[in-house]
Amino acid sequence: MQLVRSVLYLPASNPRAIEKARGLNADAVILDLEDAVAPDMKAEARAAAVAALTEGGFRSRLGVRVNGLDTAWGAEDLAALSDLQPDFVVAPKIESPEAVREVAGRLPAGVAVWIMVETPLSVLRLDQIAGAGAPLEALMLGINDFGERMNLILGQDREPLKPWLATVVAAARGHGLLAIDGVVNATGDMDRLEAECRQGRAFGFDGKSLIHPDQIAAANAAFSPSAEEVAKAREVVAAFATADAEGKGAIRVGYRMVERLHLDAAHRLLARHAAASTPPPDAPI
């Protein structure tokens, strides 16, 4: 099972951040060429991303967020990646399935596409966009851009955002994609980060976008199954393995009735637990 509990953005123009990222315990690292890079640094950041991909040495899955194809830099970003093999490329401000396919068509075979859901049109067309097909792999909610364009006032409970949190997860699940929650801008507010991680997990997200290495541990913990969840899942699996459960669609486990769909969910949770419990490999040389 591929975990994306912690997805860390870092500016591709920051060589110290890139070097540090090679040893971090994030599930995925994104070299950002878009929002985190000033216009006069775009070419330098692109060259640095190419160098980092060529050199390798990352223990995390490694992606690149390119600039949009409607900008002066997007086509050059994708051209620079055409002979490389990042694990995925993040495309910003996608508003149609055709835009997904245009990005995918400029990438080498085997490179997954993750898209940013960050405009009103993107959520209104999300079923079509999420159904664009391979190599689309993940939907990432871009809270900052979306909130600004929607004129939302977001407090710590993210109340105005809740319908869209559910919409992104529903589209991802309906089309077999990963769903990744948006960032917390207050990097020093760990209480808020932990609260948003718990909320994102409750809504069904697979992980959270991060903008500082100090946020990784909280995201990994929140999006990993708890000891209580693991115990209950094992109880369900054990109960369905008994002779009494053979041929039955629903059985009693303790004080609750469970069905075969709960057995499937238990197996998925235990697979996630096994993946989360596996020590991260040392960064390859």
**Whole-number Å distance between alpha carbons of 220 and 3:** 9
Is there a single domain that holds both residue 151 and residue 264? no
Strands 88-91 and 61-65: parallel
Q: What is the pLDDT of residue 285?
A: 41
* pLDDT tens per residue across all 285 residues of the chain: 789 999 999 999 999 999 999 999 999 999 999 988 999 999 999 999 999 999 999 989 999 999 999 999 999 999 999 999 999 999 999 999 999 999 999 999 999 999 999 999 999 999 999 999 999 999 999 999 999 999 999 888 999 999 999 999 999 999 999 999 999 988 889 999 999 999 999 999 999 999 999 999 999 999 999 999 999 999 999 999 998 888 889 999 988 899 999 999 999 999 999 999 887 666 444
For the entire predicted model, the pTM comes to 0.92
Which of 204, 222, 240 is where one domain is finished?
222
Residues 143 and 237 in one domain: no
Place of tokens 């238990």: 266
Is 284 part of a structural domain of the chain?
no
Indicate whether 120 and 243 sit together in one domain: no
Same structural domain, 177 and 235: no
| Overall domain count for the chain | 2
Is the domain of 174 the same as that of 238? no
Any binding-site annotation on 34?
no
Residue 18 lies in a domain: yes
Do 31 and 118 belong together in one domain?
yes
Is residue 33 within 8 Å of 64, Cβ to Cβ? yes
Same domain, 178 and 234: no
Q: How confident is the model at residue 265, as a pLDDT? A: 94
Q: Is residue 285 domain-resident? A: no
1 belongs to a structural domain: no
75 and 190 housed in the same domain: yes
Let me know if residue 59 belongs to a domain.
yes
Regarding whether 59 and 167 lie in a shared domain, the answer is: yes
The answer to whether 27 touches 5, Cβ cutoff 8 Å, is yes
Ligand-binding annotation for 125, yes or no, is: no
CA distance 66 to 251: 50
145 is in an annotated binding site: yes
Range of the domain at 246: 227-277
Q: What pLDDT is attached to residue 280?
A: 67
